[in-house]
Structure 1
Amino acid sequence: MVNGLHGEQMLLGLAIGIVLLIFMVLKTKIQAFLALIITTVVIGVIGGMPLNTITLENGTKFGILQSITSGFGNTLSSIGIIIGFGVMLGAIFEETGAAKRMALCFLKVFGKNKEEEALAFTGFLVSIPIFCDSGFIILSPIAKAISKVTKKSLISLGVALAAGLVITHTMVPPTPGPLGVCGIFGVDVGQFILLALVLSIPMTIVAILYARKYIAKKLNWIVNENDELVEAQAGSVELGKEINLVSEN
């Protein structure tokens, strides 16, 4: 028991809060920030925390509202500037078309039959300054164009791209989630980036192999000449064709 709160009760509140947050984000149109605030209040109430701020015997202020404001302020003070610069860098990437140009560059570097690697590592880098969902929207037309030209499975190309985007977005600063972890636990951001890269690079390689060896065979859907997604017929796959993509500004 800490500050009059039972651990089991707090864990129950946390479990209910996670379910509630997922429901509000996926099934309703509630804005994500508001959903987080609502979830925080629900967790605190179920966990037994007082809604209003009270002062404990040792002089510590304690309460749901106080915890929200102090926690938000402490986190923002440690990572706010980095997030701000990250948002600006992400906007520059989107507006200038740098993400697409990076993808085209990787396609040339990796060469024929390595489109999964090119898309995955493009997403791996792009997702650091850009949110992964925005990066997927920006880069998915390139995956579609590759599928149309090479007759490779669009599903496998999309999985490789999504894996690269999601892995770095959830593990490598300056994306907000990892930065929040650094701020809360007082971890050095530079060391965190190095360790996260050590973990995320092998994960990306495994995702590429999964997309190529399994997804491409099980879900071999390609883009035809009419830009329609159709199931590839046996013998119709034309691997190794030259890719000639023109980036759109």
Structure 2
Amino acid sequence: MTVRMLLFVLIMTTFHSLVKAQKEDSTGHAMEFAGSVNINNNGIALVPTFSLGKPSAIIELSAKKNRFSFIPQLRYNLKDRQPWNFIFWGRYKMIDTNKLKVSVGSFSSIVFRDGTAVSNGIATESLTASRLLIGELIPSYQFSPKVSVGLYYMFAKALDTTVNDLHLVSLNSTFSKINLTKGFLLTVKPQVYYLGIPELDQQGLYGNASLALSKKEIPVSITSMFNKAISSNLVAKDFVWNVGITYSF
């Protein structure tokens, strides 16, 4: 656990230094760096069976150059002090106009779960890792600087027998930085999505929304997410929600 925490701190320190250097270098336009840290009371995933159901920390880092971007996301189980889910996105913007944007991506995901290992006939509790290779298509249309709508398609290919292939299709929208009062801003991202797992003959239709309340020129925001099953036979909770705090840099 000490090694994990040291690695965690090293990644954060390195990326924070890169972000600071990028902002201070007036000529450095080749690469853009950003990141965020979210602490919440209930780790939620769009794939309900991958949700944590315990307090979690989510660290998202971003490195962008021209139309390419690399976005690692590290999710940790705070209650048990162990990894929950690591995701490593690679994306490319095929179309990037003021209104229409189309991106394609491929990424790998590692989902950590409590499991049982048997050695010499003795069963012991252990942390298991399930691996997936994922492809995605992300078209979106920008109606205004604050309003956009989009589609999202994701196919996940299981790389071991502990998980199954899955398809996810989403219709989503973003209403960003809505002016409230005294400099407060609200961002709302509602979506409806279909999730199918053909091998298990399981499927579900879900409603999801994320909210972020922030104040101008302050890098800390209050965030929340809701996920509700509209019609589903997946083995997961029908309704989950969380609340957290996010620091962006």
TM-score, normalising length from structure 2?
A: 0.22
More strand by share: 2
Question: In proportion to residue count, which structure has more helix?
Answer: 1
TM (norm. structure 1) is 0.22
Task: Return the index of the structure with the highest Cα Rg.
Answer: 1
Which has the bigger relative contact order, CA under 8 A and spacing at least 6?
A: 1
